[in-house]
Structure 1
Amino acid sequence: MNAIEQAVRWLNDPLNWTNPGGVLDRLGEHLVLSAAAVALGCLVAWPIGLWLGHSGRGGGLVVLVSNVTLAVPTLALLTILPLTFLGFGRPSVIVALAVFAVPPLLANAYTGVRQADPEARDAARGMGLSGWQVLRRVELPLAVPYLAAGFRTAAVQVVATAALASFVNGGGLGQIIRAGFGLDIAAGGGQILAGGLLVAGLAVLVEIVLAVVERIVTPRPLRAARRGANRRAADAVTGG
């Protein structure tokens, strides 16, 4: 029996889904880790990106931070952070994944505000709105397509990368893959492939769901800008 047949048989076994430590348990852990990491990334990156974009300063800093955080391997962070006060387990995993989520969130928040219509910004200031009011009432709504695109990119990347959490006892679907490697390759190859398919399938599902959510939360007049935001997301992250 080849690995593909083994993987199909493994996935079709109900006990592999419902037993303690099975797919359903690991899926719940994976989603909790990913959601917490993206939420932490948003709390850090969005306020900084929005404020720097509003002030018109720090563009080089945004690119530098994005490039540096992208250059740091997530596996390296997962190896180093458990040796700190965070210890092994979920806290270190969440922080490491949050660092990985920051670049698209930060870059798209900054770019979204900078791409706001200058005439709308000037009109708001002419009406006597303060800087904070301009950001909240004008620039932030116009930046929604970019914020949504950055969130979507960060979430998919984090979901795909969270499989590495198993290396530091963080749980998630990566535990299934790791357990497969603990077996003889002839016996565990199907489980390894099944775990990889589960992670890939979850990442694709998140991409589809967030694409729908992105369209829903984007105001109708701004939906035309959504495609441009998606096209510029990669350039914003890499500084291209």
Structure 2
Amino acid sequence: MLADTWNYLLAHPAQFSRALWVHITLSASALFLAAAISIPAGIAVARRSNWSLAVVNIANVARTLPSLAVLALVMPLLGTGFAPALFALTLIALPPIVTHTITAMRGVDADVVDAAIGMGMTRSALLWQVELPMALPVIFAGLRTGAVQVISGAVLAAFIGGGGLGDFITAGVAMMAVPQLLVGAVPVALLALASDFLFGALQRRMTPQGLRAP
């Protein structure tokens, strides 16, 4: 089975390279856009109890939606192709990042904030020098979750013409061709594991020494 998969890969190097590049580009772009939206939004509403509760509740509801359902909802509005897939994957990545950002900001020690304010720190300095450094480990936990969800969800982009490694998987399922399916499935699994490891390492690196797990 693995030999057949390897032979199929060797027979279609250009097609595989193109699909891999599209998958990585699609996933990275969606994660970047989601972070650019979610992190500032989470910071903005974190200190407003009513707003933060509403945003967290909406995000939690959104997290229950299957990835394929999100893609299906986007298709009638934006059509098919890379851009609609990017939009849908960005929506998929928003909930875990915004909820972790709100949790992180609300979890900053109030005594530390009061002490910083007492020292005369401006609101901007307080955010950049105190709150964000303390919140970063939890924020990166959200990015870690979002990255894995986006990489996995990008497989389904093949259903709306988004391209990527999902093309091999859907074609393999349709034709009952296991080697072709594995050419798409194995790299996706490796990408998800690699992103989880990378963001996990960054999360541990940003966690204060005394709070790290042994």
Q: Would you say same fold, with TM above 0.5?
A: yes
C-alpha displacement of 1:53: 1.8
Q: What residue ranges of structure 1 are gaps of 5+ in the alignment?
A: 228-240
Superposed CA offset, 1:54-88 (max 9, x none): 4455332132122121122221221221222x321
Aligned: 1:35 with 2:49 = no
Q: In 1, are the aligned partners of 2:5 and 2:182 still within 8 Å (CA)?
A: no
Aligned: 1:207 with 2:200 = no
Pairing partner for 2:128 from 95, 115, 136: 136
Change (3 A) 1:203 1:121: same
Pairing partner for 1:52 from 41, 45, 48: 45
Q: Distance in 2 between matches of 1:88 and 1:226?
A: 45
Q: Distance in 2 between matches of 1:38 and 1:138?
A: 25
Query: What percentage of residue pairs aligned between the two structures are identical?
Result: 34
Q: Distance in 1 between matches of 2:9 and 2:80?
A: 31
Aligned: 1:117 with 2:112 = no
Superposed CA offset, 1:102-160 (max 9, x none): 11111111111111121210011112223333222211111011111111111111111
User: Helix, strand or coil for the counterpart of 2:121?
Assistant: coil
**Counterpart in the other structure of 1:230:** none
Amino acid at match of 2:188: V
Change (3 A) 1:14 1:29: same
Number of matched pairs: 213
Change (3 A) 1:223 1:90: farther
What TM-score do the two structures reach when normalised by structure 1?
A: 0.81
Pairing partner for 2:140 from 124, 142, 148: 148
Q: Distance in 1 between matches of 2:69 and 2:199?
A: 28
Q: What residue ranges of structure 2 are gaps of 5+ in the alignment?
A: none
Q: In 2, are the aligned partners of 1:10 and 1:16 still within 8 Å (CA)?
A: no
Task: Let me know the Cα RMSD of the aligned residues.
Answer: 2.0
Q: Distance in 2 between matches of 1:69 and 1:33?
A: 21
User: Helix, strand or coil for the counterpart of 1:100?
Assistant: helix
